[in-house]
Amino acid sequence: MKAAVYNRFWHSQGGGEPHSGMVAQVLSHDGVEVDLIGHTQVDKDELADHLGLDLSRCTLRIVPDKGDLEMSAVSQDYDLFVNGSYMSRLAPRSAKAAYLCYFPTPFYDFPEAWRRLAVKYVGPLVRAHAGGLEYGVGWFPPEGGRRRKWAWTSGDAVISLPPGGPRTLRMEVGGPGLAGTTALRVEDEHGTQLGEIAVSADFRVRRVRLPDAPRGAELHFRSDTFVPGGTDHRTLGVAVSKLRLEAGRYGPRELLAYRYPWLLHDSQDLSFLEHYDTVMANSEYTRGWIQRSWHTDSDVLYPPIQVHRLHPAPVRQQAVLTVGRFFAPGLGHAKRQLDMVQFFGQAHRAGKLPGWTFYVVGGCEPSQEPYLQQVRDAAQGLPVEIIPNAPRARVEELLSSCSVFWSATGYGEDEEKKPWVNEHFGMTTVEAMAGGCVPVVIDRAGQKEIVRDGVDGFRWTTAEQLIERTVEVAEDSALRSRLAASAVARAHLYDEPAFADRWHAIVDQHKLLG
């Protein structure tokens, strides 16, 4: 029996990767031959160590990023193909397949009604004329204005080509803010250079002749990098705009597809789901939205929480803790650290929580340092300690010694319009409970499944409630002890043995292993 666990983002080692990795661990411990498939080279031992998993019986398989069509072909090598890639639309061809869904985030989201209508009625007329290019890894999100949008490379960015004969790749390449010139090298997956382009700050039309590619091809856009400076700490290569294939004359539909590429986004096409034996949701909250958005039932496979790594300290700090990546609202399910620092400041200035400290802990990418600075500015003069990119040992120490855990993900957002900005499950909340913290978390989404109000902790809807509940826990040691004991016990519902049991039940129900 041979299985694959595919995740485009193994290298990021984020919140979804332990979920995918645990599937691989359980499969391999059950005697299944398992490949971990990705597109970016990583060290398997380092990956396993970071995720806290045993992947020693798994094999790492790195394949060129040639798009979903090529990955569909790769999936044919396996009896079971588990797709754990966030927002993937891959249609596997394996004998059995499972889709691990962290949330059915819209693949394309247009707020304007006229755009949605155009995509619905005009899009089908032009989608077959787009050239079939697919963006792989190594690209930053698009930016720019109405007249021009571009995407920065990270120094090595991938474009996947569909099968075809000799063609020409046309693009406009530049580098807003770039000092001087740099060279962009376009290479195939074997490192053969197909073209070299001099790039300056201004966008200019460039063309690269491409050889015959009967099975498709992977193109790498490689260049030196620079850091813009100021508040922009990204490491950038070159900016690419208006990318398309030329292979003959273009008619009205081709020109329309080129001029308005957003018309090519078909958010209603869910045909890829037909290729899976089961869709697995990471919470009941996610399961509900899969039903609403995709009209598909799913099985709940909660993320695995490494409860055994956390040992509640008998004596607790007078401290509130929050843990989560730093990124500004508007960029997914933001953790709202700035709001929480402001809430803590209100309590402190009102004379509440005297002698208490607020720890704000989480990873921070260079691009989010401006937001981190906002949080630091708000914490000035307060008993607040901000710890970006803390080592795991430090995080576990705080989870096991602080008294209260806060979460505000989704605060101020419209849950009906943007359900994906809420906490889809709440892995860190469970970790805090396992460490003996009393959770005082927002009454939304996955948090409602984890924390029973008044039993394991409290849930809140307003800042006033958050402060009131925290003060209750701070001033009543008996209440804190009772809630903490219940929280520790409840955390074991989501530990690794419980994950394995749920996975085996799904396997048996859908006969995934034959």
Q: Give the three-state DSSP class for 185.
A: strand
Topology adopted by domain 307-494: Rossmann fold (3.40.50)
> What CA–CA distance (Å, rounded) separates 109 from 111?
6
Digit-coded pLDDT (tens) for 101-113: 999 876 555 556 6
The per-residue DSSP string of 282-333 comes to SSHHHHHHHHHHH----EE-PPPB-GGG----SS--SEEEEE-----TTSSS
- Neighbour tally for 346: CB within 10 Å: 14
**Cα dihedral: 174, 176, 180, 185 (round 10):** -30
Helices (H) and strands (E) in the chain, counts: 15, 23
| Cβ–Cβ < 8 Å for 57, 36 | no
pLDDT of residue 382: 97
Give the residues of the chain that fall short of pLDDT 70.
13, 66-67, 106-113, 115-116, 126-132, 141, 145-146, 229-234, 247-251, 253-268, 330-332
Residue 302: per-residue pLDDT = 96
The pLDDT, as a whole number, for residue 381 is: 95
CA 8, 14, 19: angle at the middle one, nearest 5? 80
pLDDT of residue 28: 97
Per-residue model confidence as pLDDT tens digits over 376-413: 999 999 999 999 988 888 999 999 999 999 999 999 88
- Amino acid 262: pLDDT: 62
Domain 2-106+269-304+497-510 has CATH 3.30.70.270: no
Residue whose C-alpha is closest to residue 140's, from 242, 238, 6: 238
Residue 423: how many other CB atoms lie within 10 Å: 25
Domain 128-260, architecture per CATH: Sandwich (2.60)
Q: Where in the chain is the domain with CATH 3.40.50.2000?
A: 2-106+269-304+497-510, 307-494
What pLDDT was estimated at residue 189? Answer: 86
44: amino acid identity, one letter: K
Calpha distance 103→18 (Å, rounded): 16
Residue ranges of the chain that CATH labels 2.60.120.260: 128-260
What is the pLDDT at residue 229? 64
- Predicted local confidence at residue 265, as pLDDT: 61
Triad 200, 245, 201: Cα angle to 5°: 10
Q: What is the reported pLDDT for 87?
A: 81
In which element (H, E) is residue 442 found? Answer: strand 438-442
Residue whose token pair is 């009967």: 214
Residue 76: count of CB within 10 angstroms of its CB: 11
CB-side neighbour CA atoms (13 Å) of 86: 17
Contact (Cβ atoms closer than 8 angstroms) between residue 272 and residue 90: yes
